[in-house]
Structure 1
Amino acid sequence: MKEMTLYSMPSSGNSYKVRLLLALIGRDCAIVDVEDSSPEIAAAKAAGRLPFGKAPVLELADGRLLPESNAILMWLGQGTAFIPGDAYQQAEMLSWMFWEQNQHEGVIAVRGALLFYPSRKTLATPERLAELLERGYGLLQILEDRLAGRDWLVGESLSLADLALYGYTHTAGSRGQYDMSRFPAINRWCDRIAALPGYIGLYD
């Protein structure tokens, strides 16, 4: 039986958080890079490897395709310490993961993308960037308030919620040009994740 394959967009926080979990749990997986606007992503779409038209997608050893970053995290996280044993804490973890995709990603990641990808420069109007900046600060403050006085988002240890939100939060300053000096608890949390055994960076 062949190994798993991850169709991964190298510059994407959504793809990165899956690669980070794979590294932290020491799970082998072939990686196929499908960068934005590249021939490789066009080929993967044409071959039917990206069911929702975007990366990441995890192709299981039996050929089944699993899209959506947080769904992949849940599948990979089964049987690991990254999913709490307590039912309430599991639900709490999921609530942060849903919030990450429903609220956080659509602002923090979008502003970063408008500033980072040349193909999206025409969409980066001053008005749009200003709106995303204001909304982003509000979302980051929610995260800051949660992390004030605690190490992790749920319970007393790292969970999938932390990895899901780390994906785009840790580049909010460098890509999104948010002033991250306003969020000391987030910065300490990012440092804790970066110090984990097996940690890899966005481009590692």
Structure 2
Amino acid sequence: MRLYSMPSSGNSYKVRLLLSLLGRDCPTFDVEYETTALDTAKAEGRLPFGKAPVLELDDGRLLPESNAILNWLGEGTDFVPADPFTRAEMLSWMFWEQNQHEGVVAVRAALLYYPQRRHLATPERLAELLDRGHALLQVMEDRLAAQDWLVGDKASVADICLYGYTCTAGTRGGFDMSRFPAINAWLDRIAALPGYKALDA
């Protein structure tokens, strides 16, 4: 098994993080944004949707999309709840992350972080994303003010999924994280999990 991973990407990071939390060794091939390695992986057909992350299984099958990989890796572990409703709740947060959170929080960070995208970072666009991002983070804040984890009574792949871009929402995205004490406490709880590794580890 091996992972095609974009080192700077929160989507790739969440897969690397879960692998680390599970204590699973997995060779990682870096395919950073706008690099020859990324072009080569695409040309070789290793990235079915044209982007990382992609998990290549031992039998050669390719599994793209970060949240699908999280769900596959988490199957049969404590990171996927046994209760059907709690598991469905977990998936709902993961769908929300890709449909809402990632398209705002991650996009604002990308506009500020990647030099190739800064020409798109107009004041109007950044202001819009800031307002929308704060509203989305408030959804998480409200949930985490009432319970330690997004679903159930322990960390699940929903938490790992949302951690990927929330952990850099302040430093890369410029969001005011002082507004969200429950999120900050949750970030600390994830960082305290055995096997935790930071984005740049």
TM range (shorter): over 0.9
The corresponding residue for 2:142 is 145
State the secondary structure of the residue aligned to 2:8. Answer: coil
Residue 165 (str. 1) matches residue 190 (str. 2): no
The corresponding residue for 1:23 is 20
The corresponding residue for 2:126 is 129
Tell me which amino acid in the other structure corresponds to 1:59. Answer: E
- How many residues are aligned here? 201
The corresponding residue for 2:53 is 56
1:60 to partner: Cα distance: 0.4
- What do residues 109-140 of structure 1 show as CA deviations (whole Å, max 9, x unaligned)? 00000000001011111111011001000000
State the secondary structure of the residue aligned to 1:148. Answer: helix
- What do residues 79-126 of structure 1 show as CA deviations (whole Å, max 9, x unaligned)? 100000100000000000000000000000000000000010111111
1:76 to partner: Cα distance: 0.4
Match of 2:84 among 84, 87, 108: 87
Tell me which amino acid in the other structure corresponds to 1:62. Answer: D
Match of 2:100 among 87, 103, 126: 103
Residue 71 (str. 1) matches residue 73 (str. 2): no
After TM superposition, which residue ranges in structure 1, 4 or more long, deviate above 4 angstroms? none
1:150 to partner: Cα distance: 1.2
The corresponding residue for 1:191 is 188
TM-score by length of 2: 0.99
Output the CA distance in 2 between the equivalents of 1:120 and 1:39: 18
State the secondary structure of the residue aligned to 2:146. Answer: coil
Identity of counterpart residues, as a percentage?
73
The corresponding residue for 1:12 is 9
Unaligned runs of 5+ in 2: none
Match of 1:118 among 115, 120, 123: 115
- What do residues 142-193 of structure 1 show as CA deviations (whole Å, max 9, x unaligned)? 0000000311000111101000000000100000000100000000000000
The corresponding residue for 1:200 is 197
Tell me which amino acid in the other structure corresponds to 2:107. Answer: V
CA-atom RMSD in angstroms: 0.5
Output the CA distance in 2 between the equivalents of 1:149 and 1:93: 16
Tell me which amino acid in the other structure corresponds to 1:116. Answer: Y
Residue 174 (str. 1) matches residue 171 (str. 2): yes
State the secondary structure of the residue aligned to 1:32. Answer: strand
State the secondary structure of the residue aligned to 2:52. Answer: coil
Unaligned runs of 5+ in 1: none
